[in-house]
């Protein structure tokens, strides 16, 4: 009996594609939620860990510097390994970063978590974009992006009351622990649900890009003709 998995079809909106779309939305939900927890708990963290305003500004930079720096490289990583592996790995790394932040007892621990979170979150949007282009036909992609962005917005809306409620109910550390555990679950769901690669129905570029050096990729993008 063959173990080869047949390619999935993307000609219509199937149950599998609907599930994947929901998972992608959940990924963006935690993408928005995880980065907000520290800012929502600013006063609590400053009191509990004796942080100053300067310390808090360092936490912001500890996230933004690796987040911005990795934008130069994540596109190539996503192209090389694909959205299935990259999104799953990044969700686990995001969750680990959030967990480490919740376990922190000092500024150093908080900064370590924020650096890891910045590294992980920088690749979420490029990998998710590739996933949408992989699983959805051209006429379906705007709807797919729209729905995932709606779920992402829910993360922005629900984060403050959720973090406040968890903090009051179980303590501020659980405001990090619960999203961390849920994020791992979402990452695993994506990894197993997306194991069937859909059949390609659209022409691919003549030149494979997986082996193209980084600087050459930038040149290809900047000099490509419109389609």
**DSSP per residue, 198-226:** BPP-SPPPSS--TTS-HHHHHHHHHHPPP
- Phi/psi region, residue 104 (left: phi>0; alpha: psi -120 to 50; beta: rest), is beta
Q: CA 180, CA 4: separation in Å to the nearest integer?
A: 33
Q: Binning pLDDT at 50, 70 and 90, where does residue 8 land?
A: low
Pull the structure tokens for residue 64: 């933004």
Question: Domains of the chain, with CATH numbers?
Answer: 21-195 (1.20.1250.20)
Among 83-87, 105-109, 203-207, 212-216, where is mean pLDDT lowest? 203-207
Pull the structure tokens for residue 200: 């390609």
Summarised one tens digit per residue, pLDDT across range 192-223 is 998 876 654 444 444 444 555 555 554 444 44
Give which of 89, 90, 112 is closest to 100, Cα–Cα.
112
Summarised one tens digit per residue, pLDDT across range 64-82 is 999 999 989 998 999 999 9
Give which of 54, 31, 8, 181 is closest to 120, Cα–Cα.
31
């Amino acid at each position: 009996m063959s173990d080869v998995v047949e390619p999935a079809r993307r000609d219509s909106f199937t149950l599998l594609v609907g599930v994947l779309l929901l998972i992608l939305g959940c990924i963006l939900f935690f993408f928005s939620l995880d980065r907000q927890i520290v800012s929502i708990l600013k006063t609590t963290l400053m009191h509990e860990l004796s942080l100053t305003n300067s310390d808090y500004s360092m936490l912001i930079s500890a996230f933004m510097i690796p987040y911005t720096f990795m934008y130069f490289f994540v596109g190539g990583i996503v192209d090389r390994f694909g959205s299935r592996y990259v999104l799953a790995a990044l969700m686990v790394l995001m969750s680990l970063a959030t967990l480490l932040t919740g376990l922190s007892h000092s500024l150093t621990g908080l900064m370590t978590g924020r650096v890891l979170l910045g590294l992980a979150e920088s690749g979420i949007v490029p990998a998710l974009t590739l996933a949408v282009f992989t699983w959805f036909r051209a006429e379906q992609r705007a709807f797919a992006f729209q729905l995932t962005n709606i779920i992402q917005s829910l993360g922005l809306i629900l984060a403050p009351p959720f973090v406040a409620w968890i903090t009051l109910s179980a303590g501020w550390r659980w405001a990090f622990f619960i999203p961390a555990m849920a994020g791992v679950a979402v990452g695993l769901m994506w990894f197993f649900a997306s194991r069937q690669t859909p059949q390609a129905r659209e022409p691919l570029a003549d030149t494979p890009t997986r082996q193209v050096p980084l600087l050459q990729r930038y040149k290809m993008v900047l000099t490509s003709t419109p389609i």
